[in-house]
Amino acid sequence: MQEVHDYLHECGVFYIATVEGDQPRVRPFGVAEVLNGKLYIQTGKKKKVFKQMMANPKFEITAVKPSGTEWIRISGKLVNDDSREAKAYVLDKNPELKGMYSADDDNTAVLYVTDGVAQFCSFSAPTKEIKF
C-alpha cells in the first residue's frame, strides 16, 4: 500500500476514470493518503465525480512518472468514509485543501479503495502487480 501511495506522490497528478451512464469521465486528482492500511482519495460531495462514484464505485487511476517511461494503473472500488477521523487526517496531510474543505463540513468526501489492483508498468521492465 505504501508503495502505491509513494508512486502516486512521485507522479504528483493522477487521473481517475469514473462512469456517468454509458460515458466515461476522467479528471485530475492530487490527493492520495494511507490511513489504517487503506488508500484514500479526497473530493467534494457536491461534485459530479462524487455522485458518479456513489452510483458506480468502480474506477481506474493512471499516473505517469516525470521520466515518461514508467506509469501505474490502479483499479478497484471506492467506499465513502464519512468519519471525521479520516477527513481530518487527509486534510491535515494536504493543508492546501483547508481553504475549501473542513472535516466538519457537509461537503468533504474521503473514499478508500477496496478490491484494489495496482499495476506498475514500464517500457523497460515487466509489469509488477500488487493486490490490496
pLDDT tens digits for 2-37?
A: 999 999 999 999 999 999 999 999 999 999 999 999
- pTM summary value: 0.95
What was the pLDDT predicted at 6? 97
Question: Residue type at 124?
Answer: S
Sketch out the chain's domains with CATH numbers. 1-131 (2.30.110.10)
Contacts for 44-53: CB closer than 8 Å, 24+ residues apart: 44/100, 44/101, 44/107, 44/108, 44/109, 45/106, 45/107, 45/108, 45/109, 46/107, 48/20, 49/16, 49/18, 49/25, 50/109, 52/18, 52/19, 52/20, 52/25, 53/18, 53/78, 53/80, 53/111
Question: What is the pLDDT averaged over residues 32-44?
Answer: 98
What was the pLDDT predicted at 73? 98
In percent, the amount of the chain with pLDDT more than 90 equals 99
What was the pLDDT predicted at 128? 98
What does the angle CA 112 – CA 93 – CA 42 come to, to the nearest 5 degrees? Answer: 35
What was the pLDDT predicted at 32? 98
Using pLDDT thresholds of 50, 70 and 90, give the confidence band for residue 56: very high
Q: Which grid coordinates are listed for 40?
A: 484514500
